[in-house]
Structure 1
Amino acid sequence: MLRSPLVWGAVLLVIALIATVAGDDLSFFPFLLMLVGGWCFGFAFVNATMRMVPARNGVVLHIAGGVALGAVMVFATEFGGPLIGPLPEAIRGMLFVFQMAAIPATGWIWLGLISRVTDAISRRDAKKRPPLVPRDWTRDESGDGSGVRFDAVEMRMPRLTLMIIAIVAPVGLLAVVLLIVLDDVVMHLGARFAIFAVGVLLALPAYLIFSATMRRRAVACAVAFGNDEVRVTVGPTTSVIAFRDLEHLRWRPRSAYARIEVRGAGVDLSLIAGLAKAPAGVSPELPALPRRVFRRLELAGLTVEKAKRGEIVTFTRAGARVGRAGHPAV
């Protein structure tokens, strides 16, 4: 849907049109299709203006589209009833679908305009304050190689995914139930208010609780790459894995999922630094792996695989076993 919003928007609105014209009353399913379909068109329009070169043309078109669509919405709300009253019922149903779809489209376009303004203010403020200091590799205390210290949450990605689903599913279900139960209120106040209320009353508190919970679970960690081994410290425990015993290493320095995954010699760790709060003035990201680490791991028989998104680097050993092991301490 995000890759082809125009296509999906057209498909959803066609289905909503058919359901509305063929039915005697507006049900929740066609109403939902109108909202999502309209959002798809607004999403496509905003993205198109963001990609325009020069950027000034995109800003002008964005403002013009937002003002024009907003004016049409105001006119349709204030004067549309008497104008479409004499029209056939099928035509009125089609116009109603387009009017409902225009609500989230207009809202998204105006949110995009607000985003442009806040981004400009943020960039202006960023010039006034010192930039965040990125973490960097330092000489390890042992004198063998380099290391980096950071706070992280010890958690595997499948478990994190399940936790997110466990939060999103009930919150989404509750939102749907409330929209159905409060159908009259939603129709009276409009879709924009409903979306805003769901975000403020349900989604935002769930996100804040989840973020606070993850930050409380964060512990001080450190990773050091020596000449022949990797040393991973989680709290008071340090695990040492020789490169020849290393089975899997994944290093993701960017995004909220910045992490290190390491497995081998009875050690199986996954430390997500992106979920922890970074110290004031310090970037939450991890530094990129030193070039010498690539060379030494490849000499140890590991195969490297790079992914562009998030600069993810994965080292694997052919025939390495899969499974969770203990965390030996030294």
Structure 2
Amino acid sequence: MNHPAETAKKPPLLRRIALNPLVWAAACTLAALPGYLTDGGFFSYLMSIIAGALCGMWFVSLTVRMPHPTGAIVHLLAAVALVPALYASIEVVPQLLTPGAPRAIYTGVLFALPPAAGWVWITLLNRVINLLPGKPRVRAPLAWENDGDAVVVRFRAIPMRMRELTLWMVATIVATGAIVTTALIMFSTIVERLGPRMLILALGALFGLPAYLIVTALLRRRSVDAAVRVSRDRMWITAGETTHALRLNQIERLRWGMSSDYARLEVTAPGIDLALLVGIAKQADGLASELPPLPGRTLRLAETEGLEKTTSRRGLVTLSRG
């Protein structure tokens, strides 16, 4: 049973729906259906590609939120299972469908499968790259260091909120989908010669992987040096050249995500509305992009200052006023 305070802190239902990739994938699928029931066309192909990529993004985000190493194992198993699933969807299932509406609708599903599989494979590749020789297999976690009468943790972060990161992903999917759809139409003769299996590999190699690497590089270029210093009843947050100083009793809401791509710091106080993404920023060699837990003394003092603590299933600690 959920704690009343935790339930109250959940985002509004409409906001949770609006930020769910599966909802937008369903909307894109519905928008594409009329075209497939007639003669297909650019818009329907684009909607299917976007829907598939959104489904892949949802699944990968799900594995990231899982505890380590469960998430990585689920990600790997799904990537392997997609190979026979794609083969069956291309070579077996179409033969079982009668011409007309069923086969036309299934065509839309086929256009969605490659980008979904591509997102799963590309992000898995990124996980594998981090395990290659020459890179530390076990990265040391960020840790608090003594700093006089306070403790401090230093890290690299991207000044950005999660919703802005989501918009980056969606914009990338839309742009890449439009390019892929245009290429499929312009080079239809070559596409027919490639065959479906080679086509999936070609789309991933020529469009999916470069888009993922480019966007990741662009986001990481925005990384800044950051630090959080905590004393008995004060907190200093530095991002780039700017330092915000505040008392614990001034904090209206503090979010502290420790692990995975969701590691981040968000703080709201009078005159301060700051968000720092740590999970996707590149740290110094040998350091993991994970924040250490908030000091126990800080949590106890925050509670005495009227801040309620809630912890989500993915380890996001929220301190907020009731």
TM-score calculated relative to the size of structure 2:
0.62
Q: Where does residue 273 of structure 2 map in the other structure?
A: 268
Q: CA RMSD in A?
A: 5.0
Report the structure number with the largest CA radius of gyration.
Answer: 1
Confirm or deny: 8 A CA contact 1:219 1:234 kept in the other structure.
yes
Q: Where does residue 199 of structure 1 map in the other structure?
A: 204
Q: 1:2 to 1:206 in 2, by over 3 A?
A: closer
Q: 1:133 to 1:163 in 2, by over 3 A?
A: same
Q: Deviations over 1:22-80 (max 9, x none)?
A: 87x7777898999989xx9xxx9xxxxxxxxxx9xxx9xx89x9779969978999xx9
Aligned to 2:247, which of 242, 249, 261?
Answer: 242
Confirm or deny: 8 A CA contact 2:261 2:280 kept in the other structure.
yes
Give the partner amino acid of 1:210. V
| Residues in 2 aligned to 1:2 and 1:165: alpha-carbon distance in whole angstroms | 9
| Residues in 2 aligned to 1:71 and 1:157: alpha-carbon distance in whole angstroms | 36
SS in 2 for 1:147: strand
Greater RCO, 1 or 2 (C-alpha within 8 Å, sep 6+) = 2
Q: 1:26 to 1:248 in 2, by over 3 A?
A: closer
| Residues in 2 aligned to 1:168 and 1:67: alpha-carbon distance in whole angstroms | 25
- 1:278 Cα deviation from its structure 2 partner: 1.5
Q: Where does residue 3 of structure 2 map in the other structure?
A: none
SS in 1 for 2:252: strand
Aligned to 2:149, which of 135, 138, 143?
Answer: 143
Give the partner amino acid of 1:222. A
Q: Where does residue 321 of structure 1 map in the other structure?
A: none
Question: Sequence identity, in percent?
Answer: 32
Aligned to 1:170, which of 175, 178, 181?
Answer: 175
SS in 2 for 1:274: coil
Aligned to 1:254, which of 255, 259, 267?
Answer: 259
Task: Structure 1: give runs of 5+ residues left out of the alignment.
Answer: 45-54, 85-89, 319-330
Aligned to 1:312, which of 312, 316, 320?
Answer: 316
- 1:178 Cα deviation from its structure 2 partner: 2.3
Give the partner amino acid of 2:320. T
Q: 1:98 to 1:219 in 2, by over 3 A?
A: closer
- 1:222 Cα deviation from its structure 2 partner: 0.8
Q: Where does residue 233 of structure 1 map in the other structure?
A: 238
Q: 1:204 to 1:232 in 2, by over 3 A?
A: same
